[in-house]
């Protein structure tokens, strides 16, 4: 998985409507990238539904959210409608997994992404990343904790020690 402190790999991927979305579109804002294995799986449905529930709070903290999987745009469109999602789903379909590989989120043996989160800071640097076990939903609390730590660091405060 990509490590904090490195420049986030640039990307341009089609969203659910086949419109190009680039990392540069989020310059000056924080971005949470939620990598997930597949549209319509039960765990992915739970994961993205949870993020939709807290989307307003994420956005109120000056942060955007996108989902990325290797499903094609048409699948993303249907999945997004089914879940009534208010954030874009980006297709890493062609070439399959190229962006996910760049972020260390692609599982070669399975042919899809892992379930992980990456926080890209306003300056385009990875601030935080997290990989979840295969069937475990990375909770929204992880996102909010990462945003709080990044806020504290940007204000010159030391991060809390986790022992």
User: Per residue in 47-101, pLDDT tens?
Assistant: 999 999 999 999 999 999 999 999 999 999 999 999 999 999 999 999 999 999 9
Strands of the chain, DSSP E: 12-14, 20-22, 30-35, 63-69, 89-91, 106-107, 112-113, 116-120, 126-131
Q: Kindly indicate the confidence band of residue 149, based on its pLDDT and cuts at 50, 70 and 90.
A: confident
Report the CATH fold assignment for 12-154: Glutaredoxin (3.40.30)
How many angstroms separate the CA atoms of 75 and 80, rounded?
8
Q: Of the residues 13, 23, 32, 44, which is catalytic?
A: 44
Question: 62 near 30, Cβ under 8 Å?
Answer: yes
Catalytic site residue 115? Answer: no
User: What single DSSP character describes residue 37?
Assistant: S
- 127: number of CA atoms within 13 Å, CB side? 26
């Amino acid at each position: 998985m990509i490590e904090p402190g490195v420049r986030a790999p640039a990307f341009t991927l089609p969203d659910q409507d086949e419109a190009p979305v680039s990392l540069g579109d989020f310059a000056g804002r924080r971005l949470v990238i939620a990598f997930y294995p597949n549209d319509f799986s039960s765990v992915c449905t739970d994961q993205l539904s949870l993020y939709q529930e807290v989307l307003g709070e994420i956005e109120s903290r000056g942060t955007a959210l996108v989902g990325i999987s290797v499903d094609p745009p048409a699948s993303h469109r249907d999945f997004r409608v089914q879940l009534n999602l208010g954030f874009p789903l980006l297709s890493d379909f062609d070439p399959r997994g190229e962006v996910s590989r760049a972020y260390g989120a692609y599982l070669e043996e399975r042919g899809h992404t892992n379930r992980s989160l990456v926080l890209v800071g306003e300056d385009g640097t990875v601030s935080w990343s997290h990989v979840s076990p295969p069937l475990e939903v990375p909770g929204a609390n992880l996102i909010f904790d990462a945003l709080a730590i990044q806020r504290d660091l940007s204000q010159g405060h030391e991060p809390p020690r986790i022992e």
